[in-house]
Amino acid sequence: MPTTIQAISAEAINLPLTEPFAIASGAQAVAANVLVKVQLADGTLGLGEAAPFPAVSGETQTGTSAAIERLQSHLLGADVRGWRKLAAMLDHAEHEAAAARCGLEMAMLDALTRHYHMPLHVFFGGVSKQLETDMTITAGDEVHAAASAKAILARGIKSIKVKTAGVDVAYDLARLRAIHQAAPTAPLIVDGNCGYDVERALAFCAACKAESIPMVLFEQPLPREDWAGMAQVTAQSGFAVAADESARSAHDVLRIAREGTASVINIKLMKAGVAEGLKMIAIAQAAGLGLMIGGMVESILAMSFSANLAAGNGGFDFIDLDTPLFIAEHPFIGGFAQTGGTLQLADVAGHGVNLA
């Protein structure tokens, strides 16, 4: 059978960043990711990327590589056309190794769509071939924040995402003021990365409203396990609230919809894998929740995969696929073409990323 999985390999790739990618819970100076290859019996090669982020998920490059090694036995000799069944087997075998599972699923789907000469965005629904991404200002002082905002606008990117720490509301507000002054037309997505409690989150939102700071989304202000607090902030803040760390599975999204924990779901494939991510999207859309697409610190490979999914499926209100802009060196060619904030997908087989 030409679509039988014949070989699987995993290779550690260490991608230097242009600046440390700092969030409330930690920082990375190098993206310590894993390149995944799946080869079919007809010679078709699919590429995937696993991007563990220890500060968020606890997963590491070493652990991810080991998980991929263990999972190979579930896939070798299987028909990639049954990828959803294979994804379920991977989830059952290594549920906690989400990045490893995601990298394998990406590689399987890249191989499958390359075999059939189909663009990945067509496979996911063909709704669009274009997205508009934001760019992130990582944690730092007011001077860094203002300079970063000006640099983002100079790139032609219109929307800005801001990482805040949540410990000192006055400090977070000072950074937002500096950003707003430097980029007065830019809508702001504020990512708390679990750093606030309810009192600080509501005080922060009240101050943003009083100062007319154009925050269009407040992402994961509270810790993942504070479901009641997230619901309170969603109900009382006056801003759209996104669940990121709180939304790691379809079950989580169902609970969010039932309990009013958030109004937007941030889909990051590295949190759950591709098959589970599609379930999360379906539940969110059925429940009337907004959608955001994001990622960990990923190269053009994984980001192009996510872009194909988001554009092909449609319905995403917030696009946060900017980490390739922070990667100084990588071994890939192809992927989406970026002009300003516009990501344009090509009509090529698979996700369109190849090894240089």
pLDDT at residue 23 in the model:
64
Sheet holding 215-219, edge to edge: 135-137, 160-163, 188-191, 215-219, 241-243, 264-267, 290-293, 318-319
Give kind and range of the element (H or E) at residue 305.
Answer: helix 300-313
Q: How far apart are the first and last CA of the chain?
A: 29
Q: Report the pLDDT value the prediction gives residue 26, as an integer from 0 to 100.
A: 63
**3-state DSSP percent of the chain in helix, strand and coil, to 5:** 40, 25, 35
In contact, 337 and 344? CB cutoff 8 Å: yes
Residue numbers in the known binding site are 136, 161-163, 191, 219, 244, 268, 320-322
Q: Count CA atoms within 13 Å of residue 348 on its CB side.
A: 14
Full pLDDT tens readout for the chain, 356 residues: 999 999 999 999 999 999 887 665 567 789 999 999 999 999 999 999 999 988 777 899 999 999 999 999 999 999 999 999 999 999 999 999 999 999 999 999 999 999 999 999 999 999 999 999 999 998 789 999 999 999 999 999 999 999 999 999 999 999 999 999 999 999 999 999 999 999 999 999 999 999 999 999 999 999 999 999 999 999 999 999 999 999 999 999 999 999 999 999 999 999 999 999 999 999 999 999 999 999 999 999 999 999 999 999 999 999 999 999 999 999 999 999 999 999 999 999 999 999 99
DSSP 327: B
Task: Compute the distance between CA of residue 354 and CA of residue 345 in angstroms, rounded to an integer.
Answer: 14
What interhelical angle do 274-286 and 300-313 show, nearest 10? 30
> In sequence order, what are the residues at sequence separation of 6 or more whose Cβ sits closer than 8 angstroms to the Cβ of residue 356?
331, 332, 333
Q: Scanning the structure block, which residue is given the tokens 């200002």? A: 137
Indicate the helix (H) or strand (E) that contains 46.
strand 45-50
The pLDDT value recorded for residue 57 is: 78
Q: In terms of Cα–Cα distance, which of 88, 71, 21, 80 is closest to 294?
A: 21
- The annotation places the binding site for Mg(2+) at 191, 219, 244
Q: What is the pLDDT of residue 330?
A: 97
Binding residue ranges for substrate? 136, 161-163, 268, 320-322
Query: In the prediction, which pLDDT does 140 show?
Result: 83
Residue type at position 302: A
Tell me the residue type at 296: M
Query: What domains can be seen in the chain, in order of their start residue?
Result: 4-117 (3.30.390.10), 122-355 (3.20.20.120)
Decide: pTM greater than 0.75. yes
